[in-house]
Amino acid sequence: MAALFPLTPSAAQAAIVSSGGLADLTAPQLALVQEGSFVTTSDGKRWQYKGAGDKTLASSYILISDETPEWAAIENKPVLDFNSFTFSGNGSQTVFPVSGLADNNPSNTFVYINGVTQEPGSDYQVNSSSQTVTLSSPLPFGNKLVVTTLGLIPVETTGTPGGLTNTSVIDGGVF
């Protein structure tokens, strides 16, 4: 694929921005389009008119940049891992197996006993290495424990364009 360069129009050129695609250009906008004109469409693409052909067809333009790629086109993106687990208390168990713990931050895990929200850090801890939630006291017999884990699990990558990574930690979450 050829490299795309984001070029800006000169001060003499009017900015032409379509509310949709090229086919959605209005009559006044079409009147402004001339050879070398830049047109920006709502999908984030920047086009340069070749000077000949239908001004509403992509074949009459050169694609200059695509600033908003489709999610499916992005390589090495993180995967959202959202899981919910239900347990019944036996009166002695404090450690419960779960999956999807991206880190040891209990704020990324929601724990409820009989529908009552438990306090992260004081009522429970999480361990991403063992993929467990540990309650500060045993779950009483017959009580219902619901654990919901959420987080972005990074995809292994050997590098990304521009040196950006997909495993930056922001506010305790992995992004």
135-173 residue pLDDT tens: 999 999 999 999 988 765 554 444 444 444 444 444 444
87-108 residue pLDDT tens: 999 999 999 999 878 788 887 8
pLDDT at 76: 61
Q: Which of 50, 73, 46, 75 is nearest to 61 (CA)?
A: 50
Q: Take residue 99 and report the two structure tokens written for it.
A: 């999956």
**Cβ(175)–Cβ(169) under 8 Å?**
yes
**Cβ(153)–Cβ(169) under 8 Å?**
no
Tell me the pLDDT of the chain averaged across its residues: 79
Rounded Cα distance between 60 and 137, Å, is 70
Report the 10 Å Cβ neighbour count for 154. Answer: 17
**Residue that is written with structure tokens 């200059």 in the block:** 64
pLDDT at 100: 78
Provide mean pLDDT across the span 126-143. 94
- Phi, psi (degrees; rounded to nearest 5) at 42: -65, -15
Q: Take residue 157 and report the two structure tokens written for it.
A: 């990558």
**Cβ(82)–Cβ(88) under 8 Å?**
no
